[in-house]
Structure 1
């Protein structure tokens, strides 16, 4: 399979109608964007439908991942403004107990690593419902959350976490720094992929942090996304996907130097980037070179290294559809667990409808009584599984496998089994 660019060697240029609002790289400006994976068109993954909206038109947008031939930033065209998704948001981080525990461990380790104390100041960007900063508050460290979604920001304030409702940019950062002072630590977990203005956002991070401070960013690692066929994590909220190499370039463009990197298991495989303002004098750890070498060995520092991804994704789709169709033919019942954004990419790309997946359940009451975007699958409370006793439960947030296998162990009481669709379809017996 060959990779085609916007202006290919054959002279054929893709129609502008398929390129969104930009045909150039949002990081370096190059117009050499190469196709990595085209998932067709789907609706925004967090815009769950009410029953009244089922008879209304539903907009869809292209979901086509490309990589820049110059800086190798993998990216989607900026078709949806962040304000359209994040002003009121359906995702509350605290509904995942493992994610809250992950945040607690991070706060504990960062406090020890950086020597944070009562005189320190910690800022988290995209702080959601206070899942992380609640631990900073408990440690007696001054902190502030910056969260654009009004509804989840309200939940954080109810927990006693100081939170402002803002989108981060250089101007916002300047106002916050003038009012609260420079931060010793700026945390940005699972947000660096969510902003189309990567340069403005990075400049905002630099403005927030003190000259001798630290920035910690967690973001999904493109290396594991490719190697483990995690195509369902590609959706419109994610405007770009990072290797350490492309993240290093993005940080440098905003005045931050990458000095350390950790590989963490969250979200199927993420990188925790530790950066400091240029001139801080920190030595770059060997871990940075080690991860860069692993990426290079996998071919991700060259455009051709992405060539097999489409074939792997197609195979994953065929596996899931084959299982669902066979189950339906055999009269077996299959329901879903979870209604995450990644699940909606999977369901739309695979063409799964209520005839193959009767409903899905979710712990978040906000989603109850609503329907998944595009596929119109009902979302019910978790208790419905124990009532209906389905033969199979398709776990859509597969990245929480350990947590959800324990939570759903009761499914084995009636002989039910769990199904994990990514990276390859796996049917698991539980509770026996």
Structure 2
């Protein structure tokens, strides 16, 4: 394996999660007796440029041509997108003459707010099914994987963009050099690029191993992201720490020829990473030990529930949840079923672990003893939504970043 950014062969093993199926390939009942392909899930670090990465064993086309994830099923995610749009409009002075492009725009959860604000926009979304949902929402959407040819076609048809948004996609493309060049092509010479991506600082220091899965090809610090974008002629000039996905970074970049200087906020985050040891190889090597401890604690809890005849079900069937279930070896003997708001997943089974997925109403019908919340990064939203579990004395449990049960406040328990 060579580093996909700098080409070095000097890659160090950080965490080997074994071999698992792709996390979004939910199984139909007629597929349960068929062969299910699995691929190694082995995180490595480039000693030269410090890019965290896994081998590109599946292609984006394998994953995203038809996709099971719809952003709009998370209320807090839609609100996060609205706040981003409101802030970007004010910060950049966007108006009716502006043009905004979002790459990997999903079901229009973000650009719908640009449409409402009267700003011309275009989504570039590779998944046919979720792109169709965006168009139904009134968001102009092109079904394509972004590459240089697509970027050039968009600019020829619509002009260069004042703002290019690439939220939660920068980890999903194995050709980060070509992708960065396509982003630069989309961008006006005085434009802005905004990227949101999970912060490797939290992955390593908090043991967020479930954020590692096959459609995430690399994992960024601000340092490694700055190096990657620089190859495409883009300079990161500002950065923000944001709470999404258990802790992400929002990068603001501009064409390098503008000569913009880095903000104090960007320099402070770089200092945080350096103090955490992430500007050298040794800082990454604690992740394996931390991950094994989290696995052992969760399995111990579930085995105790089983010994005490307590029924456990899972809330949510996200991609990250499938990494957790497969690595920990959790199957339907420990977690009876999962529920999810996305109808696409109902009646299907989790990849690898074959746990059935049902509608959320199943929880109120069955009244299980424990609800294990797999999308733990949405804790604030889901603790409120699932407060009804307290009605029958059930426990709401989050597996990461530490195993913990919700302490219900008296006012949360309804009469």
Q: Counterparts in 2 of 1:121-270, with a 5 A limit?
A: 121-270=99-248
The match for 1:88 is 66
Give how far 1:282 is off: 2.4
Q: Of the candidates 105, 113, 125, which is equivalent to residue 91 of structure 2?
A: 113
1:58 correspondence with 2:36? yes
SS of match in other structure, 1:422: coil
Give how far 1:429 is off.
3.5
Structure 2: distance between partners of 1:284 and 1:313: 34
Is the 2:58–2:214 Cα contact (8 Å) retained in structure 1?
yes
8 Å Cα contact 2:204/2:286 also seen in 1: no
Partner in structure 2 of residue 409 of structure 1: 387
Q: Which moved more, 1:56-65 or 1:287-296?
A: 287-296
1:422 partnered with 2:400: yes
Indicate yes or no: 2:353 matched with 1:359.
Answer: no
SS of the equivalent of 1:429 reads: coil
Deviation at 1:142, TM superposition (A): 0.1
Separation (CA, whole Å) in 1 of partners of 2:343 and 2:25: 15
Q: What TM-score do you get using the length of structure 1 for normalisation?
A: 0.94
Aligned match of 1:43: 21
TM-score of the superposition, structure 2-length normalised? 0.98
CA RMSD of superposed structures (Å): 0.6
Cα distance in 2 for residues equivalent to 1:415 and 1:383: 17
Question: Which 5+ residue runs of structure 2 have no aligned equivalent?
Answer: none
CA contact (8 A) 1:34 1:67 kept: yes
Alignment of 1:300-339 (within 5 A): 300-339=278-317
Paired positions, count: 410
- Taking the aligned partners of 2:358 and 2:400, their CA distance within structure 1 comes to 23
Residue 385 (structure 1) shift: 0.1
Residues 159-203 of structure 1: CA distance to partner in whole angstroms, max 9, x if unpaired? Answer: 000000010111110111111100000000000000000001000
Shift of 1:273: 0.2
Query: Residues 408-428 of structure 1: CA distance to partner in whole angstroms, max 9, x if unpaired?
Result: 000000000111000111011
Runs of 4+ in structure 1 over 2 Å off: 429-432
Look up the SS of the partner of 1:40 in the other structure. Answer: strand
Residue deviations 1:321-364 (CA, integer Å, cap 9, x gap)? 00000000000000000000000000000000100000000000
CA shift, 1:214, in A, is 0.2
Paired position in structure 2 for 1:18: none
Question: Does the CA-based 8 Å contact 1:416-1:429 persist in structure 2?
Answer: no
Quote the offset at 1:228 in angstroms.
1.2
Q: Measure the CA separation in 2 of the matches of 1:399 and 1:424.
A: 12
Residues 24 and 351 in structure 2, CA contact (< 8 A), matched pair in contact too: yes
SS at match of 1:105: helix
What does the per-residue CA deviation read over 1:107-148, in whole Å, with 9 as the maximum and x for residues that have no partner?
000000000000000000000000000000000000000000
Q: CA deviation at 1:283?
A: 2.3
- Whether contact under 8 Å (1:43, 1:60) holds in the other structure is yes
In 2, Cα distance between equivalents of 1:320 and 1:278 = 47
Question: Contact 1:211–1:277 (CA<8 Å) still a contact in 2?
Answer: yes
- Conserved in 2, the CA contact under 8 Å of 1:259 and 1:285? yes
Deviations, residues 56-80 of structure 1 (Å, cap 9, x unaligned): 0100000000000000000000000
1:396 alignment counterpart = 374
User: Which residue does 2:46 correspond to in 1?
Assistant: 68
- Of the candidates 353, 357, 380, which is equivalent to residue 375 of structure 1? 353
